[in-house]
Structure 1
Amino acid sequence: MIAKCKKTVLSVILLLSVLVLALSGCGSSGSSTAGDSKKVKIEYWHVNAQTQGGQAVEELIEEFNKQSETVEVVGKYNPDMYKGLMQNLQAEKAAGKSPALVQIGWAFLDYFSNNFSYLAPNKAIEKFDSNDPDFLSDKFLPNILNLAKNSDGKQVGIPYSLSSPVLYLNKDLLREAGLDENGPKTWQGIKEFGKVVKDKTQNYGLYVQEPADTWAQQAIMLSNGAQIIDNGKAAFATNEGIEAYKLYGDMVVKDKSALHVPWDQGVNAFINGKVAMLYTTIAQMSNVKKGAKFDVATIPSPPFDGKQAKVPAGGSFLAITAQSEEQQKAAWEFEKFLYSVPSMAKWTKATGYVPPRKDVADSREGLKDFVKENPMLNAALIQMDKAVPWTSFPGNTGLQAEQIMIDSRDKILGGQGSAEDVLKEAQQQINQLEP
């Protein structure tokens, strides 16, 4: 009798265990549970390494997740900057999947809008934020919003990271070489300074950033009066474009006064006091300021003699690529959080990116005190009137065209061909691509 009772009790326990396991398995796909409330889980794809805003991204995501009752964001870092993200996005699309929110570089604006499904920000506001219908027009200047419009005039996303290339100076090294600590005034002056630094200190005069794009090199050509694209066709192999690249290439190949190494190595060489001038994005300001043990400053991007400096607007815009309405709504909630004044201020403080929202720089809650305390940011702020769109090749040629330009840069700086021959060949290759 006792044995029979034990069997009965054991059977009841096993039955209850099965029921508990079955009930605990009734979760939801694409959602996570926090307490008793379900949260929609979304992915945010970004390109921010730890030396360029990565920690701020993590902090913003953590802050958002704590205060949101409906959404949980998972960040995903994509190496190789914007080109790498686009390639990963292609692979995700081929697998029938998509993140919810993505950070797209300006050079891939047309390529992205032509090849991927996205929810325009004005449509997101209509669907999910009808109480704030004027968010875009109230918070952003028209010319800034226009940066995220494609060649068809459609608003693809919202500008997020705005940067421009500036010239960082190691004033101690310039003084050691007997040069003006305030730096050169033109690109011809940069070449002269570079040679003196190399001859007198055995250090390098210049490093120009070399990530997986040619943004900085485009800025150099633009500042000599060249165009990158004209009427939808590559047009950089003109006398102006060739002259600009030749000056830069000669510093690397002939004078040996400029470095030709990957981006992180070049920036670290400057931070370690081995390079006198660093030409890179203002978004490296925090990294440089934190690491440099010398007197460091920034000056605006210089022109060539007799020309006007032009700087392509670097950085990115945010676009919603979520496919379901549930994920789109969640993406908009997180995106709007990123554009709040405190979030924008945190982002700028961590990176040096110029805030796209018009009420951030002057507000006490935003950056008013920060700008006073960080004069290095002024070099980027005062040259925003010289900003022009970063070249976005039309149709489906974006990735291929950018790779051709990267290969051309590496050929010229590697001494594998003259600037004239390499640029003319690259221009012809790009213009023969299928649109």
Structure 2
Amino acid sequence: MRKSRWKIATALAATLALAGCATGGATAGGSDSAAQVPELDPNQQVDIVFESYNLAQAGLWTDTITGLVSDFEAAHPNIHVKAQPPQSGGAAGSGTASSVQTQMLAGSPPDVAQLTFDTLDFAVTALKARNLDDLVGEDAVKANFGGEHPFHPRAATLGDWNGDTYGVPYVFSTPTLFYNSTALTEAGLPADTDLSTWTKVATAAKAVTAKTGKPSLGISCSVKGGNWCMQALFKSAGGGVLSDDRKTIEFGEPGSVSAVTMLRGLYEDGVLVNADAATQYEGFAKGDIAIDLNTSALQGLFVSSAAKAGWDLRATAMPAFDGHAAIPTNSGSVLSVFSQDPVKARAAWELIKFMTSDHAYTQISTKIGYLPLRSSLTQDPAALKPWADKNPLLAPNLKQLDSIQPWQSYPGNSYVQVDDILARAIEESVFYGKDPKSTMQAAQQRAQELIG
């Protein structure tokens, strides 16, 4: 939310802001003028482009999002939406900001885009995401976060930058520990085995591995693409990735190194699988892995796979380190406006409101498994309560919403390189015999040079 509403806007400033979209200028926010974009006339026909990385995922993800877009168009017959996946290709959720940047350089960015939280700094300072408080008014932004089922207070501010709202949090989860209780019982463990700490997870995984003769534990944080939940492991072990003033990289400090060392121990014990993120979750879905720390966005896939194969799927909260409280971080994304056309920008805002509405979260949560950010929907008998009551897998994820800390974005234009340096250091330390302390400290130094 806004801290101040005083902004100076001139034609020159607008021109400079637009020119800086692809150059990484230091000034935050798009070229907003003091005037808010006007409401649309119901007969005013508008075409907009909506870019969503969920459309790069076939099945439940694409079907759910395209269904919601159709619902939106039915409710707003004058707004026509071209829904597209990121144009950069790659794994779903990767390259979201670079796709917008490439299209911006070509002069045609999407009007509204789904960007992962780790791009927030870059989206505001370099891509010039529109300041929504300026664009439609602070009251309108607050009203969207409110309503009969308001946003959870810890979720509502995740798209804020220096007190202003540049994106509306859209879909995310917390790190959820899924497990195959059938595999645990076959290994001589109770179906409801206590997995509340990493020590207890290690004990259970060793029992399953002794039975099956293969690694039984997947931790998506440990490989490239898992930076969002690796931040949770760092924080839970007393570490972090970035100082509070956003000037100093910290993933080579003792707390963070201890988290990597724990993962190294699991691998050396023969229980942690060495595979990319997709192979890990596919292995869990097939029953090859018994325990998997991952995003709840995979819940629908896991439920379907378990039902078909006849094994019992359960879930619990992210495990804690001994002597520490578990500190979950969020995965996921915000919806931000990039259109400089006032008519298209207003239409983009209408789409954002719809895609973060009670109706949208009812569809997204029941069909995909993402958290309903309007969390009180799960207490409403006319909304998600019947589903939540029948879906115990939701409970640990929903409870962790009360204690989440943000997935932090790195400052500057080299945030992707910083993440790559970190991911490489983690993999080398965990799977390839490098000393965790010296490897993580060296990575920290290289990353520090990139952010200045």
| TMscore range, shorter length | 0.7 to 0.9
In the alignment, structure 1 segments of 5+ residues that lack a partner are 1-36
* Residue 145 (structure 2) aligned to one of 123, 129, 136: 136
SS at match of 1:311: coil
**Deviation by residue 1:214-273 (Cα, 9 ceiling, x = unmatched):** 122222222212122113211122222112112212323x23322122222211111111
Deviation at 1:197, TM superposition (A): 1.6
Match status 1:251 vs 2:266: yes
* Residue 74 (structure 1) aligned to one of 47, 58, 82: 82
TM-score (norm 2): 0.82
Report how many residues are paired.
Answer: 395
Q: In angstroms, what is the RMSD of aligned CA positions?
A: 2.2
Match status 1:423 vs 2:429: no
Which residue does the alignment assign to 1:59?
67
**Deviation by residue 1:39-64 (Cα, 9 ceiling, x = unmatched):** 42221111221366222111111222
* Residue 299 (structure 1) aligned to one of 293, 300, 316: 316
Q: d(CA) in 1 for partners of 2:192 and 2:421?
A: 36
Q: d(CA) in 1 for partners of 2:241 and 2:51?
A: 29
SS at match of 1:432: helix
**Deviation by residue 1:98-132 (Cα, 9 ceiling, x = unmatched):** 101111212221121111122223333339x97x9
* Residue 370 (structure 1) aligned to one of 387, 397, 418: 387
Q: d(CA) in 2 for partners of 1:321 and 1:46?
A: 13
Match status 1:196 vs 2:204: no
Q: d(CA) in 2 for partners of 1:186 and 1:340?
A: 36
SS at match of 2:333: strand
1:106 and 1:391 in contact (8 A); partners too: yes
Deviation at 1:65, TM superposition (A): 2.2
2:378 and 2:385 in contact (8 A); partners too: yes
Q: d(CA) in 2 for partners of 1:401 and 1:270?
A: 29
Which residue does the alignment assign to 2:328?
311
Q: d(CA) in 2 for partners of 1:134 and 1:403?
A: 39
Which residue does the alignment assign to 1:276?
290
1:51 and 1:287 in contact (8 A); partners too: no
Q: d(CA) in 1 for partners of 2:382 and 2:84?
A: 29
2:235 and 2:256 in contact (8 A); partners too: yes
Q: d(CA) in 2 for partners of 1:309 and 1:264?
A: 25
Deviation at 1:290, TM superposition (A): 0.9
From the two aligned structures, give the one with the greater strand fraction. Answer: 1
SS at match of 1:429: helix
Which residue does the alignment assign to 2:190?
180
Q: d(CA) in 2 for partners of 1:51 and 1:202?
A: 33
Match status 1:240 vs 2:255: yes
TM-score (norm 1): 0.85
1:164–1:206 distance in 2 versus 1, CA, 3 Å: same
Q: d(CA) in 1 for partners of 2:95 and 2:408?
A: 18
CA radius of gyration, larger in: 1
2:47 and 2:81 in contact (8 A); partners too: yes
**Deviation by residue 1:150-186 (Cα, 9 ceiling, x = unmatched):** 2x22211111113101110100111111123223221
Q: d(CA) in 2 for partners of 1:133 and 1:385?
A: 20
1:81 and 1:212 in contact (8 A); partners too: no
Deviation at 1:208, TM superposition (A): 1.4
**Deviation by residue 1:56-108 (Cα, 9 ceiling, x = unmatched):** 11111122223322111122223434431122122112222210111121222
* Residue 45 (structure 1) aligned to one of 48, 51, 57: 51
Deviation at 1:297, TM superposition (A): 0.2
Deviation at 1:375, TM superposition (A): 0.8
Deviation at 1:141, TM superposition (A): 4.6
1:239–1:324 distance in 2 versus 1, CA, 3 Å: same
1:61–1:326 distance in 2 versus 1, CA, 3 Å: same
Deviation at 1:358, TM superposition (A): 4.9
Which residue does the alignment assign to 2:124?
113
* Residue 363 (structure 2) aligned to one of 316, 334, 346: 346
